């Protein structure tokens, strides 16, 4: 037990160094220039703490602060240090060689900084390390063989850096390793066969590298492995030759964006929570056992047959889920009606009690039961204090039910209830969302149709709209480059699904940053389908102009014909807004558009975020920029289709 423990916490406004020990280790640490700047305005940031035992520093936890400069070589003098966490700062320079002197260190987290250079071989002396995280930096070179000396290591995170060279076979010596994350680097070569001998491994992530060759043939010899991500590499070969049926613990498998061919192998599909084999060259038919789990399975962009069978089964199940409860509700109303009239026809005088809530049976919640009373109670009959957003069409309320589940209720304005256009938009949103299901499209759980109170029941999105996130400085920084790229790709995939996988095709007609909602993980979802329209190939598809000013395709102003290319234009505007941090109104004029190609990355990106120095992220942003420019060309015939956009962004 520690005899003396001292935890010191410093606010950024404090500038006086505190001498809390006379030991050489502490003096060496305090001699560095990491103290906060006097003119810092971020008073809410603080030092999490420096923990001492009898004058020796044993723990340093300074996360998500504004530490700048390089890690000093004197760090090696803290010989008793056991825990060092400096993630989420602005540290630069090389990882000092002296860290090898920290032989008692068991936890080292330097994630999310700006460190450069290679990992020094001296890291191999930290033989007590259990957790090593150097991800999201600018480290380069090959992974040193001395890493294999860290026999106690359980977590190794080197992702989102610039490491190159082959995947080291000596990693197999890390017999206790449970988590290996090397994603988003430039690692090349084949996946070593020996990786199958890492029997403690639970999570393996090698996404976005340059790996080639087949998927490891001994893939399923890792008995505890439940998560594997090999996406966005150059893996090839016949996937059907892999014995994936032996992967009894596997729950997450992502092999998307590779060059795999052959047919889909036999799988224990009941175990999978996520299976993504999209963007490959798989052939033959879709196994029937994949259909029931189709919500967690993505087989798109292959050369498969039989997908219509799965789609048909999904629609059949969807119809049962949506319309069967409605039918029961209808029959219940009829019975109530018959009972009521029989009761009123009796000669005796009775007091008639009317149902104050009206047509309650049309409200369906997540499990298909009547939930009107729960929603009214949760919002205290739509009290303003539960309102989280208002538009011209309706207001959105947050409703937390007694079981702890939270929903968003979109209630039509009272004056809109009496207008044909408002009622038409409301019913249109129900019709569209009950016929589509996509992981990037916000879920509709149910609805209420009543002459006084119409509302839709959606899944709740904790972080609100993308528009609000981009206009708020603190939230905008939290939507980092990886999240922004993923939001753009997700919206592209959702629109491609609506345009090309739905029959008839669905056009959203109001794609904007206000209609992309963010969940607690800052993941984006397409919402607000009140203006959506089914495209009839046998009609002219004339329409009134709807949508959000600044995102509407220019051709609607003169021919008023809606097509999928209207959504393509709006998507281009939103994508440029996401990477630039503001609406790209200057780019939308033909004069500026013609000179916008070939511009440098510095002139494109949101200046509130750190410059994207990772080469893969830079490449992704430039690809998005070029594709977005193609989407906003004035002539709709020259714009790409959303399926082409989706494929280009997935390369």
For tokens 């005088």, name the residue.
Answer: 349
Whether residue 510 lies in the annotated active site: yes
In angstroms, the CA 631 to CA 616 distance is 23
Q: How far apart are CA 506 and CA 436, in angstroms?
A: 9
Residues 6 or more apart from 91 whose CB is under 8 A from it? 67, 68, 69, 70, 71, 110, 113, 114, 115
Q: Return the biggest CA–CA distance within the chain.
A: 101
Contact 470, 577 (CB under 8 A): yes
Tell me which of 205, 510, 528, 567 is the catalytic residue.
Answer: 510
Nearest CA-CA partner of 255 in 649, 240, 496: 240
Per DSSP, the three-state class of 131 is: strand
Kind and range of the H or E element at 399?
strand 394-400
The DSSP code for 502 is S
Distant-in-sequence, close-in-space partners of 632: CB < 8 Å, separation ≥ 6: 569, 572, 573, 576, 587, 588, 593, 639
Q: DSSP string spanning 20-39?
A: ----HHHHHHHTSS-SPPTT
Strands 533-534 and 394-400: unpaired
For residue 205, give both structure tokens: 């992530």
* Residue 48 CB coordination number (10 Å): 16
Residue 309 main-chain phi, psi, to 5 deg: -60, -45
Q: Return the number of other C-beta atoms located less than 10 Å from residue 511's C-beta.
A: 28
Contacts 24+ apart (CB under 8 A), 41-49: 42/12, 42/66, 43/11, 43/12, 43/13, 45/12, 46/9, 46/10, 46/11, 46/12, 47/8, 47/9, 47/10, 47/11, 48/9, 49/7, 49/8, 49/9
Residue 145 to residue 120: CA distance in whole angstroms: 10
CA angle 257, 260, 262 (to 5 degrees): 140
Give the three-state DSSP class for 495.
helix
Concatenated DSSP letters for 215-263?
Answer: PPTTGGG-TT--EEE--SSEEEEEGGGS-GGG-TT--EEE--SSEEESP
Enclosing H/E stretch for 467:
helix 466-471
Angle at 213 between CA 210 and CA 147, to 5 degrees: 60
Active site positions, annotated: 510
């Amino acid at each position: 037990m520690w005899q003396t423990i001292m935890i010191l916490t410093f606010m950024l406004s404090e500038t006086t160094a505190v001498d809390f020990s006379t030991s050489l280790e502490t003096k060496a640490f305090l001699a560095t220039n990491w103290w906060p700047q006097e003119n810092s305005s971020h008073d809410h940031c603080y030092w999490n703490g420096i923990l001492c035992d009898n004058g020796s520093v044993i723990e340093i936890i300074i996360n998500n602060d504004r530490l700048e400069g390089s890690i000093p070589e004197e760090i090696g003098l803290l010989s008793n240090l056991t825990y060092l966490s400096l993630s989420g700062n602005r540290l630069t320079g090389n990882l000092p060689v002296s860290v090898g002197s920290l032989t008692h260190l068991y936890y080292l987290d330097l994630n999310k900084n700006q460190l450069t250079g290679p990992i020094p071989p001296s890291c191999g002396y930290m033989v007590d390390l259990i957790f090593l995280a150097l991800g999201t930096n600018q480290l380069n070179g090959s992974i040193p063989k001395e890493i294999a000396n860290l026999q106690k290591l359980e977590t190794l995170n080197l992702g989102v850096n610039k490491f190159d060279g082959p995947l080291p076979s000596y990693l197999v010596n890390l017999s206790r390793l449970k988590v290996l994350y090397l994603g988003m680097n430039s690692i090349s070569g084949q996946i070593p066969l020996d990786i199958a001998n890492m029997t403690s491994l639970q999570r393996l992530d090698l996404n976005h590298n340059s790996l080639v060759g087949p998927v490891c043939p001994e893939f399923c010899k890792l008995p505890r492995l439940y998560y594997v991500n090999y996406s966005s590499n150059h893996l090839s070969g016949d996937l059907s030759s892999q014995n994936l049926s032996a992967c009894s613990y596997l729950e997450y498998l992502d092999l998307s964006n590779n060059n795999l061919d052959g047919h889909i192998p036999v799988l224990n599909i009941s175990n999978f929570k996520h299976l993504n084999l999209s963007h490959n060259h798989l052939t033959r038919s879709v196994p029937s056992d994949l259909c029931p789990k189709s919500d967690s399975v993505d087989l798109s962009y292959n050369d498969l047959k039989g997908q219509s069978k799965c789609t048909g089964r999904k629609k059949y199940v969807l119809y049962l889920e949506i319309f069967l409860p409605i039918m029961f509700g209808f029959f219940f109303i009829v019975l109530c009606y018959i009972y009521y009239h029989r009761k009123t026809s009796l000669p005796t005088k009775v007091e008639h009690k009317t149902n104050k809530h009206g047509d309650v049976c049309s409200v369906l919640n997540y499990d298909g039961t009547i939930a009107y009373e729960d929603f009214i109670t949760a919002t205290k009959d739509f009290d303003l204090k539960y309102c989280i957003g208002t538009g011209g069409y309706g207001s959105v309320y947050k409703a937390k039910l007694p079981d702890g589940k939270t929903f968003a209720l979109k209630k039509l304005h009272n004056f809109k209830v009496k207008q044909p256009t408002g009622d038409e938009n409301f019913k249109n949103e129900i019709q569209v969302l009950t016929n589509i299901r996509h992981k990037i499209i916000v879920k509709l759980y149910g609805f209420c149709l009543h002459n006084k109170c119409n509302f839709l029941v959606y899944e709740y999105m904790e972080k609100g709209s993308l528009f609000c996130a981009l206009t708020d400085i603190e939230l905008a920084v939290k939507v980092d480059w990886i999240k922004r790229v993923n939001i753009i790709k997700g919206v592209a995939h959702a629109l491609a699904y609506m345009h090309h996988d739905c029959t008839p095709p669905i056009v959203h007609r109001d794609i904007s940053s206000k209609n992309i909602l963010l969940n607690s993980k800052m993941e984006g979802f397409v919402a607000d389908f009140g203006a959506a329209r089914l495209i009839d190939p046998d009609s002219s598809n004339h329409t009134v102009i709807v949508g959000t000013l600044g995102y509407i395709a220019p051709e609607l102003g003169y021919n008023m014909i809606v097509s999928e290319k209207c959504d393509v234009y709006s998507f281009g505007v939103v994508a440029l807004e996401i990477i630039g941090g503001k609406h790209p109104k200057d780019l939308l004029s033909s004069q500026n558009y013609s000179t916008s190609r070939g511009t440098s990355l510095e002139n494109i990106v949101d200046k509130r975020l750190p410059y994207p120095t990772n080469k893969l992220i830079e490449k992704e942003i430039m690809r998005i920029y070029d594709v977005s420019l193609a989407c906003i060309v004035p002539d709709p015939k020259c714009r790409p289709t959303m399926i082409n956009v989706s494929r280009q962004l997935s390369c």
